[in-house]
Structure 1
Amino acid sequence: MVSLYFRDFLIRQWKPSDRHYAAEVIRSVLSEYGLGWEPDGADKDVLQVENYYLDKGGEFWVIEYFSEVVGTGAYYPIERGKDAVEIRKMYLLPKARGFGLGKFLLQQLEAEISSRDFKQIWIETASVLHEAVKLYESNDYIPATGVETERCDRVYFKELGVIN
């Protein structure tokens, strides 16, 4: 992915100096919704981006607003499904919400995933993340079963190249 802009937001590849800032965005948003930060569990991947994403053929992006990291979005290949990836760590601080950035980020992730010949996208989320649930459901993600992350209670998938 080449860096891209959406309004005054810069979406770019993660770099090691982003580790703390990306983790803080995710911790902050989880806390806002009453969900726990799990550095030894569900959030270990954001502290070890190289192992979980980059070394496995995935990507981790950060979103900057005037040089401040205000969001994240990532994906990596998974065994569930055929030629599948899971979109993970799609979080935006409150100052980055309400502009259509979430939808734009999701579309860019999907485009990048599709360009790499993956066929399915899976996403896990929690019902309390109302905006995320609405975003996925309004972008043709289909409810599924088999949640694997303890703090999540919803899982969705989407077949790429299939028109609903």
Structure 2
Amino acid sequence: MEIHIQQLNNTYSDQLIDLILTIQQKEFNIPITVEDQPDLKQIESFYIQAGGNFWGAFIDGELVGSIALVKFDEKEAAIRKMFVKKEFRGKELNIAQKLLEILITFCRENKIDHLYLGTVSVLGAAMRFYERNHFVQVEKENLPDTFPLMSADNVFYKLKINEEI
């Protein structure tokens, strides 16, 4: 199985909505709808024009994973929409790791120094994944004022990318 990762735009909205809502609602019973996530229909204006990006992982033309970057300050950004279809998770394909590495490379190239994310405590495997990748848990009160909070999130992480030596 060959994994192809590419930047996404608005033409991928329907595939993204299908991927993400299936995981959120059916797999993890998170009470969230497409109406709660209008950004999924505005990939270009919400993510890309603001200095972030959105990537998808494809296998045989099927969207099986996603990750997005919301730039909310000159040197700060947040990870959003990191999802991998259940049957494509795990170390064999390493899709989540590949998506995260592409996003971190983008941050380095665009001089984004701090990366934040919010997640939900029921997503234990996701939390372990971020911790393995050197993300440090932070209290909600210690997030930057401009961090774009999602109502469902209750666990938050930070990663320093471009450390001054």
TM over 0.5: yes
TM-score, with length taken from structure 2:
0.86
Query: Which residue of structure 1 lines up, in the alignment, with residue 135 of structure 2?
Result: 141
SS at match of 1:53: helix
Query: Which residue of structure 1 lines up, in the alignment, with residue 146 of structure 2?
Result: none
Tell me if 1:154 matches 2:155. Answer: yes
Query: Which residue of structure 2 lines up, in the alignment, with residue 22 of structure 1?
Result: 16
Tell me if 1:88 matches 2:80. Answer: yes
* Cα gap change, 1:51 to 1:15, in 2 (>3 Å): closer
Q: 1:159 & 1:153 partners in 2: Cα distance?
A: 20
Paired residues in the alignment total 154
Residues 114 and 162 in structure 2, CA contact (< 8 A), matched pair in contact too: no
Tell me if 1:34 matches 2:29. Answer: yes
Q: 2:2 & 2:138 partners in 1: Cα distance?
A: 35
SS at match of 1:124: strand
Give the drift of 1:17: 2.2
Instruction: Mark the runs of 5 or more structure 1 residues left unpaired by the alignment.
Output: 1-6
CA deviation vs aligned residue, 1:118-139 (integer Å, no higher than 9, x gap): 1000011011112210111111
Higher relative contact order (CA 8 A, sep 6+): 2
More helix by share: 2
Q: 2:58 & 2:32 partners in 1: Cα distance?
A: 22
Alignment RMSD (CA, Å): 1.7
Tell me if 1:51 matches 2:38. Answer: no
Residues 38 and 44 in structure 1, CA contact (< 8 A), matched pair in contact too: no
Tell me if 1:102 matches 2:102. Answer: no
Give the drift of 1:143: 0.7
TM-score, with length taken from structure 1:
0.87
CA deviation vs aligned residue, 1:4-34 (integer Å, no higher than 9, x gap): xxx6111101133211001110101102111
Tell me if 1:65 matches 2:66. Answer: no
